[in-house]
Structure 1
Amino acid sequence: MKKTYLFVTTILFFATIQCFSGNFVLKTFGETHGVWPDSLLAYQEKVKEKKDNSLKAQKDATSIYVEYIEMGKANNTFIKLPEYDVNFTKSTKITRFKNNFYQVVLKEIDKGNYTEINGELENLSDENSCITLRIIIPLQGNKWKWFSGLEKEYVMSKDSIYSDTKKISTMLPPDGAFNGQTLSDGGYGDSVGQGSMSFYPLGVVSVDNSGEGLGVDMTLPIVYRLSAKKNEGLIAEFDIATSPLTEKFPNRAFFKLSHFNFNSNWGMRAALKQYYSIYPESFKKRVTTEGIWLPFTPLRSIKNWKDFGFAFHELSWNSFDVKEGKSIPSIVSDKGTGVLSFQYTEPWDIQLPILRKNIPYDTLVSNRMVPQEHQQYLKNSATEDKNGLWQTRRLETPWFSSGWAVSITTNCNPDIEGFNRYQYVRQTEIAPALKMNVDGVYFDSMEWNWHYDLNYRIEQFKYTDYPLSFSKNVARPAIWNFVSEFEFMKKIADEMHSQGKLVMGNGHAWNPFAAANLDLFGAELSWYSTGDHGIEALDFKRAISSQKPIVFLLNEGLNDKAFTNFPFKGYEIYFEKLLAYGFFPSFFSTDASSDPYWMDAEKVENGRPFFKKYIPIIKQISAAGWEPVTDAVCDIDFVRIERFGERGELFFTIRNNGNKDASCTVTFDLKTLGISRDFKALEVLSGMPLKVKNDELNITVPTLRTQVIKIIR
């Protein structure tokens, strides 16, 4: 099934050939005979008329319109910002919307197969403002569908708004905090922006069977929502604030969007394919090594470690391994093994161990409690809550002998003047590892306690590269702390990529923006909670990574009888769930600290046969590359198909998510896949050949199991 935009591009290509040929004939005939034949002159006039009509249609087309709500004002409804003027260049439409208070400038740039929309909001006064800005792209039609995630679609009804969002608020610390008598005093639990954010970076609909998509640029972190309303159109909302103190863009905020078409027959999957082509750098696969994640444990301490398929080693520059009877740094020891080493860092906060849980705030943040090595950068980089106090959470920390710590959120923006958190981490963690030629840098806990904090420290506003946000509970400009994380990650990622090195992140949940910087990422899972490894979560991780590797660690539950009692069925369940997506399973520790899996010889031996069976297959399909459009369909709804490979090796994973065994028929689009009708198929896990008839494959998949089909062309 061809994409609509490819079909259009093909027509334009042939039209260009015809125009070029026509001009060539005109010139040759005219030069030869000194005359212009009437038929060719008429053709030339038609071409000109067509261009003129196209420009007129562009000017007459229904325009984007802009609305806003200003926080802290009595009027709590959207206000339409009037269109002030419109200008056209060869490929750009520039529209200015303006009233007495705000101006928005939209630049719509024709990029061929999509339209880039760059927008800037300007506060015309010299005061703070907190605004939800709404950009609406009108669409008209009778039959509307909203595509949700990789598989779901909803027939849209009139007057309902369709979106996919998560609640977003500053994280409530389960063990309390020190900055305030109550958690709300310190701003914990306050909404970020309006309190919700889209997690897929694109919103897509079908209008009368035509696919229409709207996407954000993942290199610009901003609190946003994408939605659609029947007979109104695609909608983008941004929760942004302006301040005269943002020196890089005073009294302004900005955003970027793309508007594109896609083949609605494949829904979100075809939209993703187009979205990846619009932002190739955000989805570029730099990793050439495939395999699993090893946290901290020295590689060579694991008996016959090659059996497990290790590829990415999380460690510290001052950790050691034993090679040929000598203790040497783990980074050095890993060289030549095919396992990449990543220097650990968690710069988003500083954790200081405490001996008792109740300490007065003033005592806690004093020079008596804060070690001297942290005092200077905290003075410059600590974040502040809405009352001007440092954000100081109480954490239960098994990695400290005291068991407890204070976590002080830090703004790790590299641009902060003076000695800052970025410089401290760069000097004490990253630089020593780079001297040993580490393969990359690892960012821990990207979405844990601090990523949604709102930082009201106004003297830090001037350093931000990205728009401010707010909380509707407070209605004051603030730095969304994830933006500061993003600035740190981007700085390090750009440096690593310039040296041919990589960056890895842990704790990836629902925030799409980190993926723009990371080369591989994953998360720590609980066996007892499917929220972080249910279908919705895994679909999102696959979509946001494109073909980048995704790696996981199972923590809570690794001592469950499913993993400790023969026949160790937990391994089969866990591994095949991730196999369906081409993701890599591994283990760490029940409390992310003590008694790690890879230092327990009995656990390692129990798991060895499963790693030897599954990891080589996951390596194959991951290397082939996930493709969002499968070009294969199954006749049973609860059986999922994912495709890996395009023109080289071709694999399909068939996953039964139902509660009963499924005998199903898989039908392939042979022409699009480049497969002849006499192709053969092999079930890779069993090694058994499968019967193929015409373009169909009949297969039985047990409940909650995965099979891997290799197509032999």
Structure 2
Amino acid sequence: MTRRCSMIASFGMLTVFVTGHGSRALDALPAAQVTEDTRTVTTTNRFSMTFDGRGRVESMSVEGKPVPIAADRREQSGWTVTDVQAGRSVNVRNWTSSSKGDSLEQEADVSELGVRLRVEYVVEDDYLRMVGTVFDETGKERALDLTFALPVDAAGWLWETDITDRVPIPDTTSTVSVYKQSLSAGLGPANSTRLTGELAAFPFVAISSIEEQLGLTLAVPADVPMVFDGGYDKGLLQLTVKVGTSPYYKTPNETRFEMMAFSHGPRWGFRDVLRRYYEFFPQYFTNRVPRHGLSTTYVSEDPYPEDIAFHLIDEPASQARTVDEYTNLGNVPFAREHKILSFPYTIWGQRQVFLETQTLIEDPDEAWKAMKAWEPDVPMYYATTLPALNYKTPPEHKEIIEASVVHGPNRKPVFVPRVYWHKNALTFPTNPDPDLFADRDVMTVGKFHFKYYRHLLEHIPDLAGIFHDSQYGWGLYFNFRREHFKYADRALSYHPTSKEVCLYNQFSLNESLEALREAFPDKLVFANGLRPNFVYNVFPSDIVAVELLDVSKLHDPHQASWYRTAAGPKPVIAWSYRDWDQPDKIDEFWQRSLLYGYALSARGILARPVDFDLGQERIGPELENAARRKYVPALRAISSAGWHPVTHAWIEGRTTLQVERFGPDGDGKVYFTVFNPEEREVSVDLTIQADALELKQLSKAVSLVPDHSTFPVSTAKDGRATVQVSVRSKKTQVLMLQ
């Protein structure tokens, strides 16, 4: 990302003023005068903040418009540090300021808590980036909350929950929190080793005033994963990052953190927040996929391969002993012939061993002894979904487990006894960071998989990229293993109940995804098992897959929209296992998925008598094929065009119907999806800001779903176009403008 900064007031991207005793150069100020002056940072005249000498936010403006200040909350504005273990918070006030190149740097001793805080304010492409470091002065492990707050009189404003919901803020006594998603069971026991409860879904907090034409956002950058929380609390718009410091960390007793502040358009609210966030981080929100459609495993058995875009190499490929055998058993030649993208399977967040015992092993010492004694008869060079396992030799596999297994709060290895692939298994959650033990001659999960992929991609150039399974299932685990801390590039955090410092394994998985992108820039990263709490694992993924299981997961509008807003224009795959014997459920799944352009998996193709621990057989493809033949062409069109958060379109006089926009595509075509949740068919006027989308000479809208009918388009001199469309109950209309 290009940084454009300057300390020059005129024409500069970053302006730093010092006022009070006359304007003077910041670095020439006597230290005694710092607390009497103010500092102002401005981003291309869009968003400006002024701090007084004590670090309180004195004023703000957006494009010259003053933001109403909650004067009685100014004392709590700026930075606050909370010692989570002691339950004590301190508003940071004794700042010293200095210039550092083209940025403003402030530092303060928070002696009451035994920490020191440093924050650098840097402008990057139209937003303010706050790069901070917290230093522990005690030499102990510390659990700390770092909060930045803006004092905003937001009476009559709107809290931006997500693209489906905006909540009125009646007055400055109101409190509203960032949207949180409850964590599901995941894999393994719900105990102190695994994250439970709720987790914030989006890394930003935003409020808007349509009347005053103002919008404010605080966010955590997409390239700096952190545990976060926030909301609007009685006059304060605030964002919190939850960090840990440790003498065992890469930077002993200090942890780096980042936040950002920017303005957004109030008309579109959360959607404009997304638009700007996507623009700030184009590396995460670009559709790089050359083919769109469904995903499957047994691709050669599919009667309509033209529907398939993504082929996950599965059984019987695990039986291969050579690359050529793997290529043929994995149906790579068939996929190549039909221009389908092939991805070899891997799972990074766990290693497991299969046992010959008749009962599960629950005792930790017995489990570790069983792992050490594991000696399979043959190697398994290539991984697939069912064994979810590959290894060269048993000693190397056990070395990987010993080096990579995460530790619980008792500082001992975590394991999950379970039945998998019809066998008793011991599964060990692992830290997949490729840098883990980079300075030692020891094999880890990350090192093993990098060698594996280099081998495959060198010998099978047809492979489109990497399939990285079970982000959620194994990312839920905490890792208290201190010898792992110094290899982490992500910030430490802490256990929400015990407050002990630890690594979140989802961030170690994030590091593996980022490393793959960097090592194989011409290949695609296909990540599976992503949920509404794992936004930072969605960002580095080119193809986003989620195991929705059944259509009920799409009934909640917050959850249904989350996958799309987290992925942006990238393809989203909705793996599904259930209800494929019920035509009405199949159709409902398609209707709700089309609204956001989700591609269903060709699950019926897995017509094999394998229950895969789901308690049911996979049924034949007949019912699924009948539905997909109707919907795949429309899905392919809108997925290729790419979803955009700001629709520039709305339904006149009706708020229950939802509208989404895809495109323009490479040919300039724009698509709209309209979902009707009501119990009856409705006819509505879809109004489009044609000038904003640079759509000229519109004549008609063609329905790709359900029936290829056409609707006339009327245009007005103000740049608007109107399409009158009918949408049946619980159905989605897919329109292509011409």
Normalising by the residue count of structure 2, what TM-score does the alignment of the two structures yield?
0.78
- Which of the numbers 263, 286, 289 marks the counterpart of 2:288? 286
1:310 maps to 309
Alpha carbons of 1:593 and 1:672: their partners in 2 closer, same or farther (altered >3 Å)? farther
Alignment of 1:209-358 (within 5 A): 209-232=213-236, 234-246=237-249, 248-295=250-297, 297=298, 299-306=299-306, 308-315=307-314, 318=318, 329-354=330-355, 355=357, 356-358=359-361
Residues 702 and 736, structure 2, Cα contact 8 Å, conserved in 1:
yes
Amino acid at match of 1:368: A
Counterpart residue identity of residue 124, structure 2: K
Name the structure 2 match of 1:439.
464
Map of 2:547 onto structure 1: 524
- The counterpart of 2:110, out of the listed 93, 99, 113, is 99
**Equivalent residue, structure 1, for 2:176:** 162
- Which amino acid is 2:239 matched to? A
Q: 2:404 corresponds to which residue? A: 381
The aligned residue for residue 588 of structure 1 is 603
- Give the deviation of 1:639 after TM superposition: 0.7
The corresponding residue for 1:622 is 639
Distance 1:650 1:703, change over 3 A: same
1:411 partner SS: coil
What's the counterpart of residue 654 of structure 1?
Answer: 674
Shift of 1:81: 2.1
Change in Cα spacing, 1:671 to 1:56, as seen in structure 2 (3 Å) is: closer
Code of the aligned partner of 2:708: G
Change (3 A) 1:473 1:318: closer
Deviation at 1:707, TM superposition (A): 0.7
Deviations 1:659-682 (A, max 9, x none): 332222211223223334763222
**2:340 & 2:143 partners in 1: Cα distance?**
48
* CA offsets 1:201-223 (integer angstroms, 9 cap, x no match): 22211144301112211222221
Superposed displacement of residue 486, structure 1: 1.4
SS at structure 2 position matched to 1:249: coil
**Partner residue of 1:393?**
416
SS at match of 1:414: coil
| Structure 2 equivalent of residue 32 of structure 1 | none
Contact kept, 8 Å, 1:171 with 1:453, in 2: the verdict is no
Deviates more, 1:367-376 or 1:79-88: 367-376
1:413 aligns to what? Answer: 433
Question: Where do 1:557-576 residues align within 5 Å?
Answer: 557-558=579-580, 560=581, 562=582, 568-576=583-591
Cα distance, 1:90–1:339 mapped onto 2, change above 3 Å: same
Cα-to-partner distance string for 1:355-379 (whole Å, 9 max, x where unaligned): 3124432121022247534221222
In structure 2, do the counterparts of structure 1 residues 542 and 304 end up closer, same or farther at CA, with 3 Å as the change threshold?
closer
1: distance between equivalents of 2:618 and 2:478? 45
The equivalent residue for 1:565 is none
Distance 1:593 1:537 in 2: 32
Q: 2:722 aligns with which of 696, 704, 708?
A: 696
TM-fit CA distance, 1:241:
0.7
- Counterpart secondary structure, 1:159: coil
More displaced 10-residue stretch of structure 1: 329-338 or 464-473 = 329-338
Match of 1:543 in 2: 565
- Checking the alignment, whether the CA contact within 8 Å between 1:91 and 1:110 is kept in structure 2 is no
Q: State the partner residue of 1:607.
A: 624
Moved more, 454-463 or 607-616: 607-616
Structure 2: distance between partners of 1:361 and 1:230: 48
2: distance between equivalents of 1:292 and 1:337?
Answer: 13
Matched, 1:459 2:497: no
Q: Give 2:663's aligned amino acid.
A: G
Does residue 705 (structure 1) correspond to residue 731 (structure 2)? The answer is yes
Contact 1:202 1:216 in 2 (8 A): yes
Equivalence for 1:40: none
- SS of the aligned residue for 1:580 comes to helix
- Per the TM alignment, residue 311 of structure 1 is displaced from its structure 2 partner at its CA by 3.4
SS at match of 1:673: coil
Q: Which 10-residue stretch deviates more, 425-434 or 253-262?
A: 425-434
Q: Of 120, 127, 139, which residue of structure 2 is paired with 1:114?
A: 127
Query: Which residue of structure 2 lines up, in the alignment, with residue 468 of structure 1?
Result: 492
Q: Which stretch shifts more, 421-430 or 379-388?
A: 421-430
C-alpha distance in 2 between matches for 1:206 and 1:614: 37
Shift of 1:69: 2.0
- Corresponding residue of 1:83: 94
Letter in 1 for 2:650: V
Q: Counterpart in 1 of 2:527?
A: 505
Whole-angstrom CA distance in 2 between matches of 1:475 and 1:319: 45
Q: The residue matched to 1:484 in structure 2 has which SS? A: helix
CA deviation map 1:272-293 (0-9, x unaligned): 1111111111212211211111
The 1-side partners of 2:346 and 2:648 are apart by: 41
Q: Mapping of 1:486-497 within 5 angstroms? A: 486-497=510-521
- Conserved in 1, the CA contact under 8 Å of 2:245 and 2:492? yes
Q: Which blocks of at least 5 consecutive residues in structure 2 are unaligned?
A: 1-9, 13-41, 60-76, 376-393, 716-720
The answer (yes or no) to whether the contact 1:212–1:261 under 8 Å persists in 2 is yes
Deviations 1:152-206 (A, max 9, x none): 11111433332234367796756x5xxxxxx64xx24666xxx653211222111
Gaps of 5+ in 1: 1-14, 18-49, 177-182, 563-567
Aligned-residue offset at 1:55? 14
Conservation of the 8 A alpha-carbon contact between 1:582 and 1:621: yes
Distance of aligned partners of 1:593 and 1:362 in 2 relative to their CA distance in 1, 3 Å threshold: farther
Contact 1:315–1:342 (CA under 8 A) maintained in structure 2: no
Structure number with higher helix proportion: 1
Alpha-carbon spacing, 1:128–1:16, altered in 2? closer, same or farther (3 Å): closer
Change (3 A) 1:152 1:459: same
- Count of residue pairs brought into register by the alignment: 628
Alpha-carbon distance between aligned partners in 2 of 1:173 and 1:509, rounded to the nearest angstrom: 13
Shift of the alpha carbon at 1:236? 1.4
Q: Where does residue 29 of structure 1 map in the other structure?
A: none
Q: SS of the counterpart of 1:87?
A: strand
| Structure number with higher relative contact order (C-alpha < 8 Å, ≥ 6 residues apart) | 1
For 1:203 and 1:678, locate their aligned partners in 2 and report how far apart those are by CA, in whole Å: 38
Give, in whole Å, the separation in 2 of the partners of 1:336 and 1:557. Answer: 32
Alpha-carbon displacement from aligned partner over 1:693-712 (angstroms, at most 9, x marks no partner)? 44322222111101111111
- Does the CA contact (< 8 Å) of 1:115 and 1:259 recur in 2? yes
- Secondary structure, in 3 states, of the residue corresponding to 1:518? coil
The match for 2:390 is none
2: CA distance, partners of 1:56 / 1:618: 42
Please say which of residues 455-464 and 368-377 is displaced more in the overlay: 368-377
Secondary structure of the residue aligned to 2:455 is helix
Q: Aligned residue for 1:150?
A: 163
1:86 positional shift: 1.9
Separation in structure 1 between the aligned mates of residue 589 and residue 524 of structure 2, nearest angstrom: 27
Q: Give the Cα separation in 2 of the matches to 1:150 and 1:494.
A: 31
